[in-house]
Structure 1
Amino acid sequence: MKKPSSKIREEIGKLQEQLKQAETREAERIGRIALKAGLGEIEIDETELQDAFEHLARRFRGELAASIGGRKRVEDGIPSTATATVASGAAQGGHGEV
């Protein structure tokens, strides 16, 4: 039995709301972690910061290891200014890895 288009639109609306709530939860979680790491206190270009986050995402997905010959180093692939800024921000925040 086929669903009427109004029912499908209603389901789409509910799914869009669920998606919005899930994205909000994820953004809040990532934001809290970034603040704990000291990223809120440093001045960095938004594009550069997004590049660093994309690098981090590739690293945790395992894509980076394949693209750099199997080496897993935090500095690989991040622009040098982003590496220095993120590293110093994390050290200032006191929540970096030991």
Structure 2
Amino acid sequence: MRARQLTWAEEQVDLYHYRTKDKVEVDAVLENRRGQVVGIEVKAASTVRPDDFRGLRHLADRLGDDFIAGIVLHTGTQTLPFGDRMRAMPVSALWEVG
């Protein structure tokens, strides 16, 4: 996601990258004006493993109820649950009309 694409959103959000001193990271962190957060990881793989959610789970633990969802975008075709507020989604879903 590019910062320029944030202008497409109905809700104003800020885009961040998250990394701890222990190198736990999340590729993109979107935060709205109420402090609610969605974390996004991007993987160049068609399969997703629980370990791919490591950074997202860390962020969820730190933020509690302000963490809305964690999403791992992948090159596969299925949307799969990976626990509370965690989903793996195909990157192609970004261009699908709901």
Normalising by structure 2, what TM-score? 0.29
Between Structure 1 and Structure 2, which shows a larger proportion of strand residues? 2
Q: Which has the higher contact order (CA 8 A, sep 6+)?
A: 1
Larger Cα-atom Rg: 1
Between Structure 1 and Structure 2, which shows a larger proportion of helix residues? 1
